[in-house]
Structure formats: C-alpha cells, structure tokens
Amino acid sequence: MHDQLGTTVHQTHDVLALRLAHAQGAFPTRERPRERFPATDRFLASTSRHVAAANTVLVPAAEDSDDGRERAVAFTDQSKRLEEALAHTKAKLYGSTYAVRRPWRDVWADVQVEFDAFWAEEDQLVGVLRTDLDRNVLAERLYRSELVAPTRPHPYIPHRGRSGRMARRVAVRVDRFWDTTEGRMIPEPVRPDPHREGRLTQYLLADPHIADD
C-alpha cells in the first residue's frame, strides 16, 4: 500500500521550502515597496497551519506507543522553537518596535535553522508511528486539520493534550477574525493523493492539492 502520510509530509516540506526561499528572496523596491509582504505572509500562514495540524494529529498518534512518546515531546518542543522564529518574522514584517532594528538576514537565518530542525523531527516522528496505524487515514486527518488550523504562529499556547486542542480552537477564531479584517489569502495545504505528480507546477499554481490531468 502506498504510504500517503510519508509522501504528504515530504511534499509539504517541498512546498514550504519553496515558499521560504521565495520569501527570503523578496526585496522591496521603490516601485513595489511591499514586495516582501505577500511572499512572507504565504510562508508564515502555510507553515503555521502545518505545525499546528501536525501537533493535533501526529503527536497523539505517536504518544500511543512507547517508542513514540519521547519523539512526540521532542517534536512539540521544536514546533515551539519554529513558531517563535515565525513570530519574530511576523513582528519584523509588520514593523514591531522590538524587531525593527534586527536585520532581515538574521531573522531568516534563525527561521532556516528552526525550519530545518522541525522537518528533521517530523520525519523521525512519522517514522516511529505504529505499523498497525492506517497511515493513509492519518494523512487525510492531517490535511483536514490543516484546513482549519491557526494561520499565525502561537508559540506560547499549550500544544499537547486537551489544553492544546482547546487553545488552538481559540487561536483559530482569533486568526480568522484578523484574516478576514486584513483580506489575507491563505494557501491550500498539500492534499494526500497517491497518484499526484508535479509538485512544482502545483506550487506555482498556488493550489498544491490539485491532481494532475
């Protein structure tokens, strides 16, 4: 059986890595002073969604096995570190007084370190999930959770257990209010599909769940 979970996680990494690269390479000009905003915001929104969804779906699945409990804790800790770096990026983007003096190269350097560490942890987390779990069902749950996950980083709310689920529900409502107020466009997450190819094309279409003809 095709492992949709592993494939979906790796494809999500590819998409988000491309969005990160685009955000890092977006520089404002005199003609387009807000050039950095759309690329950075797409990266922040889609990455925040995936981090929250992974903690909602993958962490509880891993905690059900002895081998996965330690991995789940490490993954949640790294999720918080990545979200903190994303929060600093958002603060820099929107001119927060405590971040305005920090160079963009330092902001992106921190994000890159935590982003790479997060994916290393997620890869290990996916690898320790029990073999009796239906990983294709988990892939679909991950996708559906990502559709309704917070769209902004929330490093300081609970991440695991019942308190984590409740905190994310509150965060989603707050994020939706501000997304609507700001007219913010949120990219679709990667949808599990064992027959999908052409990730770069789907990314450039800003619709990575579309299956190829």
- Per-residue model confidence (pLDDT) at position 213: 37
Least confident of 15-19, 171-175, 204-208: 204-208
Kindly report, residue by residue over 32-58, the tens digit of the pLDDT.
Answer: 878 899 999 999 999 999 999 999 999
Kindly report, residue by residue over 65-110, the tens digit of the pLDDT.
Answer: 777 889 999 999 999 999 999 999 999 998 887 787 899 999 999 9
CA distance from start to end of the chain: 22
The span from the CA of 65 to the CA of 200, in Å, is: 36
For residue 78, tell me if it sits in a domain: yes
For residue 54, tell me if it sits in a domain: yes
Report residue 2 as tokens: 């095709």
For residue 209, tell me if it sits in a domain: no
Per the structure, the complete domain to which residue 32 belongs is given by 4-204
As for how many domains the chain has, the answer is 1
For residue 77, tell me if it sits in a domain: yes
For residue 142, tell me if it sits in a domain: yes
What is the pLDDT confidence band of residue 123, given thresholds at 50, 70 and 90?
very high
The span from the CA of 179 to the CA of 91, in Å, is: 16
Contact 16, 112 (CB under 8 A): no
For residue 123, tell me if it sits in a domain: yes
- Per-residue model confidence (pLDDT) at position 65: 75
For residue 147, tell me if it sits in a domain: yes
Per-chain mean pLDDT for the chain:
88
Residue-wise over 31-57: b if at least 16 C-beta within 10 A, else e? eeeeebeebbbbbbbbbbbbbbbbbbb
For residue 213, tell me if it sits in a domain: no
